[in-house]
Amino acid sequence: MKRKRLEAAADFLRRKAGGDLDAAIVLGSGFGGVLRERIDGGTVPYGKIEGMPEPTVPGHAGEAHIGTLHGRRVVAFSGRFHLYEGRATHDVIYPVAAAAHAGAKTVVLTNAAGGVNTGFHTGDLMLIADQLNLTGTSPLLGAALLPGQEQRFVDMVDAYSPGLRKLARHVAGEYGISLQEGVYAGLLGPTYETPAEARYLRRIGADAVGMSTVLETIAARALGREVIGFSLITNVHGAGAPTSHEEVIAAAAAAAENVARLIEGLVANL
Ligand code: HPA
C-alpha cells in the first residue's frame, strides 16, 4: 500500500470534513443510503478519493458521505470492495486505512449476513462480538507493514471493542432496538454456504456468516483503531423454507433505519 496515496486520500477526507476525522463507517449491502441525510456535509464519488478502487458490485454505490454527525467528523463509505470480486486485500481495506490515516479512532462496520445460529431470525441485528477469519488471507501479509502499522504481530483479543459494544447495547436499549450478539465468520464467497458448511460453521462457533468485514477489522486493529460491527441477518441457514426476497428486502429496509439510529447514537457518545 502506497503511503503517499493514502496520505493524499486522508488529506482529502480531512479537508472535506473540516479537520481530523473522529469515526469512519462502512455501509454494507442494503445499508447504502442510511446515513446520507443524517450527515451534515457532502457526498463524493470514490473516484475523487486518491487511490480508491472503483466498485463493481450493484448495490454498492461507491460514494463517501463526509461531514459531521452529532458534532463528530465522520466519513461513511457506501460501497465496499470484496475478495470475491478478485480484489487484492489492500483494495478491500483501503477505505478503512484512508480513514484511519485521516485520524478516525473508531471504525463502524456493517454488513448483511446469513444466520447459522438457528435461534436467529431474518431481520435480526447482530452486534459482532468476535470474528472467525476464514478467508485464508490477511491484509497484513507482506514484507512491509501497513503505513501507520507499528507492530508486525497484532493482538486480536477484544478486536471488537468491549466498551463500544457496551455503548451499543445501551443505545439500542434506549431506542427499543433488539440486538443479538455473536461471532461473525468471514468467508471468501461468492457462493453461499452449503448445508454442510453452515453446520460446520455453527460447530466451530459462528453465529453469522458473510463475505466481508474480517479483513477491515484486522487492518483497523493493526492501525490501533477501535472497531464495532453490526450484521443484519438477511437469511437463516437450516431454517427449512427458503426466505422470500420480498421478506429480506423489507427486513433490510426496517433494519437499515435502526442501524442508522444506532450509529448516530454511538457517534454522539464517542
Ligand atoms: N452467506 C454469506 N454471505 C451472506 C449470506 C449468507 O447466507 N447472507 C447475506 N450475506
pLDDT in tens, 16-73: 999 999 999 999 877 777 888 899 999 999 999 999 997 675 555 689 999 999 999 9
Q: DSSP 3-state assignment of 72?
A: strand
pLDDT given for residue 31 in this prediction: 76
Which positions ≥6 away from 33 have C-beta within 8 Å?
78, 256
Which positions ≥6 away from 167 have C-beta within 8 Å?
266, 269
The response to whether residue 192 sits with its C-beta less than 6 Å from ligand 1 reads yes
Task: Calculate how far, in angstroms, residue 111's C-alpha sits from the geometric centre of ligand 1.
Answer: 9
Mean pLDDT of 9-19: 98
Q: What percent of the chain has pLDDT over 70?
A: 93
The response to whether residue 186 sits with its C-beta less than 6 Å from ligand 1 reads no
Q: Of 124, 107, 74, 118, which Cα lies nearest the Cα of 248?
A: 124
Distance separating alpha carbons of residues 72 and 75, to the nearest angstrom = 10
> Is the pLDDT at 89 greater than 70, yes or no?
yes
pLDDT given for residue 244 in this prediction: 59
Cell of 247: 421478506
Using CA positions, which residue lies closest to atom 7 of ligand 1?
114
pLDDT given for residue 188 in this prediction: 97
Distance separating alpha carbons of residues 60 and 112, to the nearest angstrom = 12
pLDDT given for residue 170 in this prediction: 97
> Is the pLDDT at 241 greater than 70, yes or no?
no
> Is the pLDDT at 239 greater than 90, yes or no?
no
Task: Calculate how far, in angstroms, residue 215's C-alpha sits from the geometric centre of ligand 1.
Answer: 16
Residue with the three cell numbers 492501525: 223
Q: Which helix (H) or strand (E) holds 40?
A: strand 40-45
> Is the pLDDT at 221 greater than 90, yes or no?
yes
Mean pLDDT of 130-145: 97
pLDDT given for residue 246 in this prediction: 65
> Is the pLDDT at 192 greater than 70, yes or no?
yes
Q: Which helix (H) or strand (E) holds 232?
A: strand 226-236
CA dihedral (92, 60, 29, 128) in degrees, to 10, reads 30
Helices 162-175 + 245-268 axis angle, to 10: 110
> Is the pLDDT at 160 greater than 70, yes or no?
yes
Using CA positions, which residue lies closest to atom 10 of ligand 1?
113
Residue with the three cell numbers 468476535: 130
pTM (two decimals):
0.95
Task: Calculate how far, in angstroms, residue 118's C-alpha sits from the geometric centre of ligand 1.
Answer: 14
Query: Could you give the residue numbers annotated as active site?
Result: 29, 60, 82, 84-85, 112, 211-212, 235, 245
The response to whether residue 175 sits with its C-beta less than 6 Å from ligand 1 reads no
